[in-house]
Structure 1
Amino acid sequence: MNNTTYNTKDVEKIIDKLETKLSITQIIQLITKLCSKNEYGEQQLLNLLIHRRIFKQKKIAIVDSLIFEKLSETKYINIKTKFTQYFGQGIIKLENNLKIDYQPLQDLLITKQFQEADKLTQQYLCELAGLNKLNTRTWLYFTDISTIPSEDLLYIDILWKTYSQEKFGFSIQRNIWLNNNSNWTIFWQKIGWTIQDIPCRYPNEFIWDTNAPKGHLPLFNQLRGIQVLSALFEHNAWQAIND
C-alpha cells in the first residue's frame, strides 16, 4: 500500500513537471520514467494529453508530440482503445475553413513516411497557389508564393514540426536561414542539402528520417534558384508566429 502511494505521488510530480518548460531530452527522460510505472504511468500520460489537447486546447508543444509518439506504441489494450478514440487521426485538429483536407499529410507524418509526405506537401503547395491538374507546371514560381493562404501554410508547417520532434518544417528552416544572416551557402550546408557545396541528388542523397539535420525537410528545389524559397521565408504567415 505504501509503495502504491509513493508511486502515485511520484507520478503526479512527473506530470506536473511535464507542464513546465523543459528541453526535449528532459521531456523524454520524464516520459520514459512515467512509462516505467507500467499501465498506471501511461494512463496518466494519456490523461495529460487529453487535458492539454481536448479540454484546455493548449497551443501544440513538443511535449504533446512526444507523449503522442510514446503512447502510439502502448501495449495496454485499455490505453490503446482510449488513445485511438481521442487521437486516432492525430493530435492536430484540422479546421474546416482550410482550403485542403490535410489528414492524408498528417497520416503520413504520424507513420514517419517522410518522403511521401514531402511529395504530398509539394502537391499541396502547388494546389494552394492555384496550379490545378490541368496545369502542366508542377513547380512554383516566386510570384506564386504570396497566393498561398497563411493559415494553410501554417497548418502544413505545424504538422511537419509536430511529428518530427520540431526538427522539420518551413519555420524551422526559416529560423536557420535568419540565424545565419540569410546566407544561402551556409543555410544549404546546415540543413544538409549540399555535400561539399554540391547540391544533393534526389532522392538518394537526402535523408528521409529524423536522423537528418535539423531543417532537412520538407524539400524545395534550390536548383531553380533562391527566389522561391526566399519568398516562402518572407511570407506573411510567419508574422502570426512572431506576433
Structure 2
Amino acid sequence: MTDLRDRLKLEPLKTQLLLIQELADSGDSGLDVLMDFLLDQRSTPVTPAQGKAYQVLFNADHPKTNEFLQTHFPQGLVALTSERGIDYAPLQSLLVKQDLQAADKLTLEKMCELAGETALQRRWLYFTEVERFPITDLQTINTLWLVYCDGKFGFSVQRELWIGVGKNWDQLWEKIGWRKGNSWTRYPNEFTWDLSAPRGHLPLSNQLRGVRVLAALLSHPAWITKAIAPVQAGQP
C-alpha cells in the first residue's frame, strides 16, 4: 500500500486513474490512501486525479469518508468563483455523481443565467452574449468538467481538439462524436452520457444551434488569459 501511495503522487494521469480505481477496490486501507492523497495535494492546483479520488470517497458513503470530506472539503474540490454571483455548487454536485446528462443541461442553464434574464427565459444563447462572459466563470465551469470527468470533457478540451484539426468544424464534429458521416447525433438518446464517450464529447454547448455559439466559446479569452490547460489521460 505504501508503494501505491508513492506512485499516486508521481505517475502520469492515466496511471493515476488506474491506481485510484485499484485503491477504491482495496477496502478501508485504500480509502485511507486516497484521503491522505487529497490532503497532501491541497496546496496544488486541482487535477482530474484529485477529482477521481474525491468521487471514490464520496461514493463510498462511509461514515469515515463522509466525515473526512465534510471536514476538509465541505464545498467540494473546485473553488466555485463567479464574477456575477452564479451558484455553481449544483453543477459540481451533479458532476461528482457523474449525472452527466443533468450536468450538461445545468451547464447551459448556468450560462444562460450568466448571460442575463432574457437568455434565461429563452433558454439558449447568442454568440454575442458568450463573448461577454467573464473569464472567471467560464474557467470555473470548465474546471468542474475537467476535474470530475478524468480530464476528458470541458471547453478547453474541445478547443484543443478544434485547433488540432485546423479549426475545421466538420472534422471536429466527427472527432467528438457529434456527427457520424452525414448523420448528426440526435439529442438526447444518441449522445453518450458517461466517460466512455470520445474526448470533448461534453458539454454540448448549445451545439444544435450551429457553430457561432461554440466558436465564441472556444475563441474566448478565458483560454488565453490565465488559461486552464486541458488535461488528457496519459499525459503527465
1:123, CA displacement in angstroms?
Answer: 1.2
Counterparts of 1:135 and 1:97, CA distance in 2: 17
Return the index of the structure with the highest Cα Rg. Answer: 1
Question: How do 1:110-121 and structure 2 match up within 5 A?
Answer: 110-121=96-107
Alignment match, 1:86: 72
Alignment match, 1:99: 85
Which structure carries more relative contact order (alpha carbon 8 Å, separation 6+)? 2
Bigger shift: residues 157-166 or 87-96: 87-96
Alignment match, 1:45: 34
1:236, CA displacement in angstroms?
Answer: 0.5
Cα distance change, pair 178–15 in 1 and its aligned pair in 2 (3 A)? same
TM normalised by structure 1 equals 0.83
Root-mean-square deviation (CA), in Å? 2.4
Cα distance change, pair 87–228 in 1 and its aligned pair in 2 (3 A)? same
SS at match of 1:79: helix
TM normalised by structure 2 equals 0.86
Select 2:112's aligned residue among 126, 129, 135: 126
Q: How many residues align?
A: 228
1:14 aligns with 2:37: no
1:208, CA displacement in angstroms?
Answer: 1.4
- AA of the residue aligned to 1:187: L
Counterparts of 1:144 and 1:231, CA distance in 2: 9
Cα deviation 1:98-131 (Å, max 9, x = unaligned): 530100111111111111111111111112122x
Alignment match, 2:233: none
1:136, CA displacement in angstroms?
Answer: 4.5
Bigger shift: residues 66-75 or 97-106: 66-75
Percentage of pairs with the same residue: 39
Alignment match, 1:74: 60
Q: Extract unaligned runs of 5+ from structure 1.
A: 1-10
Cα deviation 1:147-201 (Å, max 9, x = unaligned): 1110000000011111111111111111111111111011001111113222222
Kept in 2: contact 1:189–1:197 (CA 8 A) = no
Alignment match, 1:236: 221
Cα distance change, pair 216–46 in 1 and its aligned pair in 2 (3 A)? same
Q: Extract unaligned runs of 5+ from structure 2.
A: 230-236
